[in-house]
Structure 1
């Protein structure tokens, strides 16, 4: 999102960035693999999205990676947040 400032090193970003993430996930009907530069950012984004979205949000570290990937693949409304290492496992 070129119209937003670059995310900071701590957390998932500012309110405008979280609004953008939520809007994109809603537009996609879930089915989002959100990759972040740190686990701290992924967890913060997941925590921010869960109460805002009607679709499930999983985060790397919530369960074993294989179990998370299985849940993500089984339900097209589910979003999964994590780091680059998660993407390599998917």
Structure 2
């Protein structure tokens, strides 16, 4: 494990888009990112397997200028397909925004 500083500072005030694929990433990283001017594109609410197909499909949507919700859907559909879980379960796991 590792420790993050209590706060992450955004020194240039540019909004950054972040994807955090790790177990319980929303609950773990939220306190550190709340004041960092970020757009949480995709992160997780539970245990997960962070494999390349999820980030691949999320990045494809990002490059195509899709909305956060469309990108989340892409990631969830890929996760559902390869992990053989329901789309509902994948959508509950992979979330967007605060």
Coarse TM-score class (shorter-chain normalised): 0.3 to 0.5
Kindly indicate whether structure 1 or structure 2 has the higher relative contact order, using CA contacts under 8 Å at least 6 residues apart.
Answer: 1
What TM-score does the superposition give when structure 1 sets the normalisation length?
0.35
